Amino acid sequence: MDPDTFRREAHRLADWIADYLAGSRKYPVLSRVRPGDIAHALPTAPPAAGESFDAIFADFERVLLPGITHWNHPGFFAYFAITGSGPGVLGEFLSAALNVQAMLWRTSPAATELEEVVLSWLRQLIGLPPAFEGVIYDTASMSTLHALAAAREVAVPAVRAKGLAGRAGVPRLRVYCSDQTHSSIDKAVLLLGLGQESLRKIPSDDEFRMRVDALASAIREDRADGWLPIAAVATVGTTSSTSVDPVAEIGEICRRESMWLHVDAAYAGVAAMVPGYEAILRGAEQADSLVVNPHKWLFTPFDLSAFYCRRMDAVRSAFSLTPEYLKTVEAAPVRNLMDTGIQLGRRFRALKLWMVMRHFGVDGLRARLGEHMRLARLFASWVDESEEFERLAPVPFSVVCFRAVRKGLDEAAIERLNERLLETVNQDGEIFISHTKLHGRFALRLAIGNLHTTDADVARAWELLQARARRF
C-alpha cells in the first residue's frame, strides 16, 4: 500500500473508529445474522487482482458489520463485559505498525523492558510482593497452563527429559479446584497429559466458595489411594458468580502438602486495587502463581493476560531451550521472554497496557472499577426489591446472578421461563446478557465492565427484563 493511500485510509479509519467507539449504541448488541449468512455473502475464492481499500472497507460495513456482536456496546452485559478503551486501541494500532517480536531482548529491548515495568506497576497496585516475577501471555488459559506445567515440573523429577508415559515410578497426579472453576483448568490438565480424572473438583459452599474441609479430606483420601497431589487452583472471581475462594486457607494446605498454589484472579484480581477491596487477594502473596487479565476488566483490548510467579525458574526449567539461531550475546545479562513460554513469537502487548495505565492513572482506574461495582449493586438492589425476580448469588464485584420467579411454578418451569427470557431479551438488540448454572439452578448473568455503561443502561436492562418476563 503506497504511503499516500495508507495515510488517507488510516485517517478514514480513525474517524470511523472514533464514531464507532462513541456510537456503538446504535447497533443491536448481539448480531442478528443467521448461521452461514456471512460466509455465503463472501466470494469463495480470493480476488486475482488487488482491490481498493474503498471496496474492502465497503464490504466490511455491508457484509461483516451485521455479523459483529458488539463487545464495546454499553448494553453488552454477557460473560465478562469488557472495554477496548481509546488509549488501548491506539496502543494496538501502534503495536501493529511496529510489528516487533518480543521473543528475545534484542528483538526489541523496549518490548521486554516495558513488559517488566508495567507488570511491576500492576503488581504493586494489586498488592503482590516483589518476589513475583511477571510475564504477559495471550490468555488466562495460557497463564494457567504454564502454572500447572511448572507444578508438574516441580512434582515429577525428570518429567522434562522423560515425560510421563511408560514410567513405572511416576504415580497418577492430582490437581484440585472447586466445582466453580473455569474450564481452562480442565483444558490445561488435558494438554499436560494428566488426564481429566486428575482434576478433582471440590464442592463449593452456599456462596460458591471452595470448601476447605472438603479439599483437605480429598487430599487425604487421594494420598491413601496412591495419587500424588501436585497443585490446587483457587479462584478470585469465579466465572459463574464471581465468588472468592478462601485463598489463604487453601494456601496453608498447599504449603503443608507441598503443592503448587495457583490463583486464578483473571477477572477480579484488578479489584484489589480499589480501596476497601485489598482483602480479596489475602493469601495470594503466598501463592506460587497468579493470573490477572487486564483485557477483562482493565480496559485493555484483548489479548493481554498477566501471569505472576514466585518460582518462574520452574517455568523456565519446564520450557526454556535456545536453538543456535536464537542465541545472543548482550552487554549485560538480559531476560529473553521466550524462555518463560511455550510460544516463541510474542506481540508487543505491554504498550497498550502502559498507555491505558498512564491515561487513566491509578485514581482513574480505581474510580471506574468502583463505579462498575456500584452499578452492579444498584441492579442487585432492584432484583432484591422485586417480587418477580430473585438473586442467586452474592455480588462481590460487578456481576449479578438472578432469575425470574413466578408463584406456583416448579423448578423445571422456572428454568424454561428464564431460558425464554434470556433468548427474547437478547433478540431485542438493546442488551446482551448470558447465563450459567449455580448449584443446578439456571441463572441469568448481568456483567458490567464497559466504560460507556451508565445508570441509564442498567436501568434500561432492568426495564426490558421486567417487561419481557411479564409477557410470558
Which parts of 393-452 interact with its own copies (CB under 8 A)? 423, 434-437, 445
Applying CB under 8 A, among 194, 265, 383, 458 the residue interacting with its own copies is 194
The reply to whether 322 sits near its own copies by the rule CB under 8 A is yes
The reply to whether 216 sits near its own copies by the rule CB under 8 A is no
By CB atoms closer than 10 A (0-12, 13-18, 19+), residue 31 is middle
Q: Which three cell numbers stand for residue 396?
A: 462481590
Interface residues for its own copies in 265-304 (CB under 8 A)? 295, 301-303
Interface residues for its own copies in 51-70 (CB under 8 A)? 51, 53, 55-56, 60, 63-70
Nearer to its own copies, 206 or 363 (CB): 363
The reply to whether 108 sits near its own copies by the rule CB under 8 A is yes
Quote the strand ranges of 236-270, DSSP E.
260-264
Nearer to its own copies, 129 or 381 (CB): 129
CB 366 → its own copies: shortest distance, Å? 10
Please spell the DSSP secondary structure of 141-205, one letter per residue: HHHHHHHHHHHHHHHSTTHHHH-STT-TTPPPEEEEEETTS-HHHHHHHHHTTS-GGGEEEEPB-
Q: In the beta sheet, which residues pair with residue 401? A: 445
CB 241 within 8 A of CB 399: yes
Applying CB under 8 A, among 224, 276, 363, 412 the residue interacting with its own copies is 363
Q: Residues in the chain, how many? A: 472
Give the whole-angstrom CA distance, residue 472 versus residue 301: 38
Applying CB under 8 A, among 147, 231, 357, 425 the residue interacting with its own copies is 357
The reply to whether 121 sits near its own copies by the rule CB under 8 A is yes
Applying CB under 8 A, among 25, 58, 62, 117 the residue interacting with its own copies is 117
Give the whole-angstrom CA distance, residue 315 versus residue 232: 17
Interface residues for its own copies in 333-352 (CB under 8 A)? 333-334, 342-345, 347, 351-352
Helix or strand (DSSP H, E) at 437: strand 434-438
Q: Which three cell numbers stand for residue 261?
A: 498454589
Applying CB under 8 A, among 128, 147, 177, 192 the residue interacting with its own copies is 192
The reply to whether 7 sits near its own copies by the rule CB under 8 A is yes
Q: In the beta sheet, which residues pair with residue 402? A: 391, 444
Q: Torsion over CA of 82, 286, 348 and 12, rounded to 10 degrees?
A: 20
Residue carrying C-alpha cell 441509564: 456
Quote the strand ranges of 184-301, DSSP E.
199-202, 228-235, 260-264, 289-292
Applying CB under 8 A, among 206, 324, 385, 410 the residue interacting with its own copies is 324
CB environment 426-463: b (16+ within 10 A), e (fewer): beebbbbbbbbebbebbbbbbbbbbbbbeeebbeebbe
Judged by CB under 8 A, which stretch of 122-130, 201-209, 245-253, 375-383 contacts its own copies? 122-130
Query: How many residues make contact with its own copies (CB under 8 A)?
Result: 167
Q: Which three cell numbers stand for residue 426?
A: 437478547
Q: How many CB atoms lie within 10 A of CB 255?
A: 12
Given strand 399-404, what is the order of strands in its sheet? 389-391, 399-404, 441-447, 434-438
Applying CB under 8 A, among 28, 74, 75, 88 the residue interacting with its own copies is 88
The reply to whether 185 sits near its own copies by the rule CB under 8 A is no
The reply to whether 323 sits near its own copies by the rule CB under 8 A is yes
The reply to whether 20 sits near its own copies by the rule CB under 8 A is yes
Nearer to its own copies, 278 or 423 (CB): 423
Nearer to its own copies, 129 or 195 (CB): 195
Nearer to its own copies, 252 or 302 (CB): 302
Nearer to its own copies, 158 or 413 (CB): 158
Judged by CB under 8 A, which stretch of 216-224, 252-260, 282-290, 320-328 contacts its own copies? 320-328
CB 96 → its own copies: shortest distance, Å? 4
Nearer to its own copies, 61 or 388 (CB): 61
Reduced to 3 states, what is the DSSP secondary structure of residue 441? strand
Cis geometry, peptide bond prior to residue 288 (ω within 30 degrees of 0): no
The reply to whether 378 sits near its own copies by the rule CB under 8 A is no
Q: How many CB atoms lie within 10 A of CB 264?
A: 29
Interface residues for its own copies in 125-154 (CB under 8 A)? 125, 138-142, 145, 149, 152
Reduced to 3 states, what is the DSSP secondary structure of residue 255? helix
Nearer to its own copies, 21 or 378 (CB): 21
Nearer to its own copies, 46 or 276 (CB): 46
Applying CB under 8 A, among 25, 58, 62, 190 the residue interacting with its own copies is 190
Would you give the binding string for its own copies spanning residues 30-49, x where CB under 8 A is met? xx-xxxxxxx--x-xxxxxx
N-terminal to C-terminal alpha carbon distance within the chain: 56
The reply to whether 186 sits near its own copies by the rule CB under 8 A is yes
CB 407 → its own copies: shortest distance, Å? 26
